[in-house]
Amino acid sequence: MKTLTLSQKQSPFDLDLSLSCGQIFGWRKTGDTWKGVHDKKIVTLKQVENLIFYEGLSKKQVTRFLGLDDPMDKILESVRSHIITYNHELDVYFESKYSQSEGIRILRQNPWECLVSFICSANSNVRTISKRINLIVEEFGTPCNKNNEHSFPEPDTLARCNEPDLRNCLTGYRAPYLIKTGRFINEHPDFFEQVKKMEYPRAKEALMVLPGVGPKVADCVLLFAFEHLNAVPVDTRIRRIMEEHYADIMKADQSRRIPYDTIGNFCRDYFGPYAGYAQQHLFATRDNEKGN
């Protein structure tokens, strides 16, 4: 395995937390080594203090995938300054959650792999989603090394597969979404390149054209694959947190369900352009690591 040393600016970094906090699925930890798929390649990663051992990617690719060059001090400063502008004081709850999940990074996933993953994530839990992704990879993935390990299936493989086989991979009613989305990407090979050029609102609209992609899945893909660090996925956990801790500041009508965009727009206003990072720190919990 190759090695890279985390610099002062890249520290602290927490590989376990970054891979287990629900932004990527299907990665397995055996002993102290993680193995998973990224960009059609089988990748192994291991962290020992400030050393990252890696295989399957170049140093540059690992650094990008793990978000190691994200300026965390600047990001935290930006979030705090927006909070203070809004609040006139630090946010005790956020500070607590941030310190509990310090070392997390927003990964830069492959767009297609991220898209498939989050279509699979709908109305499910992290543990089940990971199983689901691994079943899909084993059943439909492309063989990519001597050990007969598979990477993500190509769009046209999903487009052509028969639905019952895909349903056998714990996908349930999500199977038709995957097939139709595979077909769309297959018919629009430049789709992701186009989305890359778009600003956040347009990119979100574009993604939501895909079957099985609503506002939440779109935000996940924008945050975890397209580097829109202002995207705020609002799932049930984030919704509960916002309702419990921020309903007053949001001035939301608490007599009924707060609309998705009201929460997302408030977070962008309150946390600033790195709202996606703030969201991930609110979302993450250390006990996710024990699952998997």
Residues with a known catalytic role: 216
- Element of type H or E holding 41: strand 41-48
Element (H, E) at 193: helix 191-197
Residue among 60, 88, 197, 256 that touches DNA (CB under 7 A): 256
> Minimum Å distance from CB 221 to DNA?
9
Q: Which stretch binds DNA (CB under 7 A): 27-35, 74-82, 233-241, 243-251?
A: 233-241
Residue 267 beta carbon to DNA: minimum distance, rounded to whole angstroms: 10
The single residue among 40, 64, 237, 245 that binds DNA, judged by CB under 7 A, is: 237
What are the tokens at 14?
């927490």
251 binds DNA (CB under 7 A): no
Q: Which residues pair with 29 in a beta bridge?
A: 34
Q: How far is the CB of 39 from DNA (least distance, A)?
A: 20
Q: Any contact of residue 259 with DNA (CB under 7 A)?
A: yes
Q: Please identify which residue in 167, 183, 188, 245 interacts with DNA, judged by CB under 7 A.
A: 167
Is 22 a residue that touches DNA (CB under 7 A)? yes
Sign of CA dihedral 98, 223, 264, 27: negative
Q: Which amino acid, one-letter code, is at 109?
A: Q
Q: Does 50 bind DNA (CB under 7 A)?
A: no
Contact call for residue 20 and DNA (CB under 7 A): no
Nearer to DNA, 10 or 101 (CB): 101
Please answer whether residues 20 and 292 qualify as being in contact, where contact means their C-beta atoms are separated by less than 8 angstroms.
yes
Which among 86-94, 184-192, 217-225, 263-271 is the span making contact with DNA, rule CB under 7 A?
Answer: 217-225
Stretch that binds DNA, among 66-74, 139-147, 188-196, 230-238 (CB under 7 A): 230-238
Phi and psi at residue 25, to the nearest 5°: -130, 155
**Judged by CB under 7 A, how many residues of this single chain contact DNA?**
44
Phi-psi region of 136 (alpha: psi -120 to 50; beta: other; left: phi over 0): alpha
- The C-alpha atoms of residue 95 and residue 268 are separated, in whole angstroms, by 17
Instruction: Please state, in angstroms and as integers, the Cα–Cα distance from residue 234 to each residue in 146, 190, 264, 265, following that order.
Output: 41, 28, 7, 11
- Please identify which residue in 238, 242, 263, 275 interacts with DNA, judged by CB under 7 A: 238
State which of residues 5, 81, 87, 128 lies at the interface with DNA (CB under 7 A).
Answer: 128
Site for DNA in 176-205 (CB under 7 A): 177
Alpha-helix runs per DSSP H in 57-119: 59-65, 72-87, 92-100, 111-119
The contacts found for 51-54 with CB under 8 angstroms, 24 or more apart, are 51/3, 51/4, 51/5, 51/6, 52/3, 52/4, 52/5, 52/6, 52/13, 52/15, 53/1, 53/2, 53/3, 54/1, 54/2, 54/3, 54/4
**Closest distance of CB 233 from DNA, Å:** 4
Taking the C-alpha atoms of residue 72 and residue 56, their distance in angstroms, rounded to an integer, is 26
Q: Does 79 bind DNA (CB under 7 A)?
A: no
Which residues contact DNA by CB under 7 A? 21-23, 118, 121-129, 131, 167, 170, 172-173, 177, 208, 210-218, 220, 233-238, 240, 256-257, 259, 279-280, 283, 291
